[in-house]
Structure formats: structure tokens, C-alpha cells
């Protein structure tokens, strides 16, 4: 959590200021554009080579923290899961199915939220430790959600999305897209 920082209320103006800051960084823009190009070029998730490119790009460009040795097995898993219908429906279950496989319960939660987000940015907010810490700090400061929650609770995707929706509602940010909210949460450090 953000300690010894003064959190400003996340108004639409404050959020937009940090989105603008994010979008002025050439490496951030190029990474977003590259992933968007890949998703638009290969929108489906059935062909291993196409999925492999998307998995590798999202993992590397968005620091999803998967080991390089996991990239092919995760791409293969995504192909086997037949996720396109669930992505189209905005099903939250697809995040869990990518994040946790049945063999060894390997965790890929951060990656799974990013992968789904780039396919359907309107349906899937991104989870990462930076966003979760800031959300928890706002909860501690303002108590925007009931019941209260912990950072560990946010590692269940339906809970995370619900908390993000409550955050948007509480602060009057419902017109802010998940994509812009992610940029704000990633850039804002308080102060």
C-alpha cells in the first residue's frame, strides 16, 4: 500500500492527467500499439503460432512476470481452452481458467488479466500489484467498498472486478474506461 502519501480523490480530471502522462511516454505508447496490432491481426485464440506471439508480447511488454519457459505451455493451454466464446461474453471465468491450470495450480493471474484485457478492454480490468496496492490504499482512506477487502481478496477475479466497479462508482469514474483506469492506477503514486 501507499504509505505516508496523500492520496488525492481520483477525479476524472486527475485520472485524465495521469492517462495523458502515460500516453506521452513513447515506450508505453509503442507497447500498447504493438499489442493492439497483434490482437487486431490475430483476434482468435486457436492457432498456436498466433497465440504464442500474443502471449510472448504481453508477457514481455506488459511485465506479466511469467518465466520464458512458461510461454509455450500457456499459449498451448489458451488454444486448448477454446476461450473465444467466453471472451466474447465477458466471462470472468476465462481469467481463472488461464491463470490456474489443473496440473500444479501454476499461478499466472497477472498475465491472465492482461491477456483478457487486451482482447476485451471493456470487460476485463487489469490486475497487478501496483493497481491492487493503490486500490487498497483508497479503501483504507475512504472505505469506498463494503464489505471491506484485503489485497489477497483481489486475487479472485470476480472480487477484483467487483471492487474496481465499486471504486469507479464511488469516485464518479463510471465514464472512465478500464483501460484508462489501468493507466491511472499504474502511474499514480499518491502525493
From its phi and psi, is residue 86 left (phi > 0), alpha (psi between -120 and 50) or beta? alpha
Question: Is 52 part of any domain?
Answer: yes
Q: What is the mean pLDDT of residues 109-125?
A: 97
Question: Is 5 part of any domain?
Answer: no
Question: Is 6 part of any domain?
Answer: no
- What pLDDT, on the 0 to 100 scale, is given for residue 159? 97
pTM score above 0.95: no
Same domain flag for 20 and 79: no
Domain total of the chain = 2
Question: Is 92 part of any domain?
Answer: yes
Same domain flag for 101 and 40: yes
174: three-class secondary structure by DSSP: coil
Same domain flag for 170 and 98: no
Question: Is 169 part of any domain?
Answer: yes
At residue 25, φ and ψ (nearest 5 deg) are -90, 115
Parent domain of 59: 27-119
CB 178 within 8 Å of CB 122 = yes
Residue 138 in this model has a pLDDT that exceeds 70: yes
Question: Is 7 part of any domain?
Answer: no
- What pLDDT, on the 0 to 100 scale, is given for residue 189? 79
d(CA 125, CA 113): 7
Amino acid at each position: 500500500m501507499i504509505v505516508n502519501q496523500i492520496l488525492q480523490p481520483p477525479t476524472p480530471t486527475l485520472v485524465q492527467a495521469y492517462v495523458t502522462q502515460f500516453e506521452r511516454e513513447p515506450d508505453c505508447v509503442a507497447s500498447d500499439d504493438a499489442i493492439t496490432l497483434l490482437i487486431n491481426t490475430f483476434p482468435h485464440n486457436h492457432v498456436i503460432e498466433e497465440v504464442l506471439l500474443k502471449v510472448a508480447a504481453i508477457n514481455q511488454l506488459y511485465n506479466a512476470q511469467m518465466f520464458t519457459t512458461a510461454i509455450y505451455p500457456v499459449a498451448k493451454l489458451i488454444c486448448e481452452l477454446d476461450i473465444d466464446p467466453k471472451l466474447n461474453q465477458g466471462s470472468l471465468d476465462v481469467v481463472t481458467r488461464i491463470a490456474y491450470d489443473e496440473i500444479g495450480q501454476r499461478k499466472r493471474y497477472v498475465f491472465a488479466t492482461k491477456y483478457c484485457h487486451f482482447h476485451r478492454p471493456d470487460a476485463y480490468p487489469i490486475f497487478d500489484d501496483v493497481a491492487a496496492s493503490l486500490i487498497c490504499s483508497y479503501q483504507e482512506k475512504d472505505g469506498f467498498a463494503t464489505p471491506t477487502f484485503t489485497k489477497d481478496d483481489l486475487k479472485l477475479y470476480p472480487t477484483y472486478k467487483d471492487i474496481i466497479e465499486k471504486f469507479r462508482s464511488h469516485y464518479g469514474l463510471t465514464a472512465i474506461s478500464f483501460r484508462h483506469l489501468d493507466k491511472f492506477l499504474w502511474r499514480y503514486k499518491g502525493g
